[in-house]
Structures are given as C-alpha cells and as structure tokens.
Amino acid sequence: MPLEGLRIRDVESGFWGKKYIFALFNPDSKNVYKDYKQLELVAESQELMDNWKASFLRAGIYPVKGDSETVRNHSLIYKI
C-alpha cells in the first residue's frame, strides 16, 4: 500500500465505549486500499495509539487538525 499523500485523523469512538480510533485517508478522496476511502485503526490504549501515530509521522503521514468530518462509508477497520 503506497503511503504517499495519506493523512491521519482522529475518529470518534461513539457514545458507548472508550475506543482509541484513528484513520488513514487520502485528502484527494482517492481510495486508500482497494474500494476503501479510509483505513480505520483501533488501539487498545491511548499509549498504543500515540505510538502508532508517531510511527506514521516518521513515515511521512501527517495528521489533519480541525477536521471533524469522518468518511464512514467505505472504510476498513483494523485492530492494532
């Protein structure tokens, strides 16, 4: 999976549970993987999520700030 042009955004976990979710997406609305507009990653703790985000940052995938809009259709969710 090419990482060029991808960005990270936080995803709200919803009302019922405390899940740590973030998503990789392409700001140009291109698919990230096959038919998926974003790839959602779920971590078991805040520390684990921060570690993954730092790893993606080192790989050149930067976060998007202030964007509350989430692409829910056509997303793929992975537990990390």
Residue 6 has pLDDT above 90, yes or no: yes
Where do the domains of the chain lie? 7-79
Q: What is the DSSP string of 1-70?
A: ---TT-EEEEE---SS---EEEEEE-TT---SBTTBSEEEEEESSHHHHHHHHHHHHHTT-EE--S----
Pick from 12-21, 49-58, 70-79 the range whose average pLDDT is largest. Answer: 49-58
CATH number of 7-79: 2.30.29.30
Mean pLDDT of the chain: 82
* Mean pLDDT, rounded, for 55-78: 71
27 neighbors 64 (Cβ within 8 angstroms): yes
Structure token pair of residue 36: 């998926």
* Mean pLDDT, rounded, for 3-19: 81
35-66 per-position pLDDT tens digit = 999 999 999 899 999 999 999 999 999 998 75
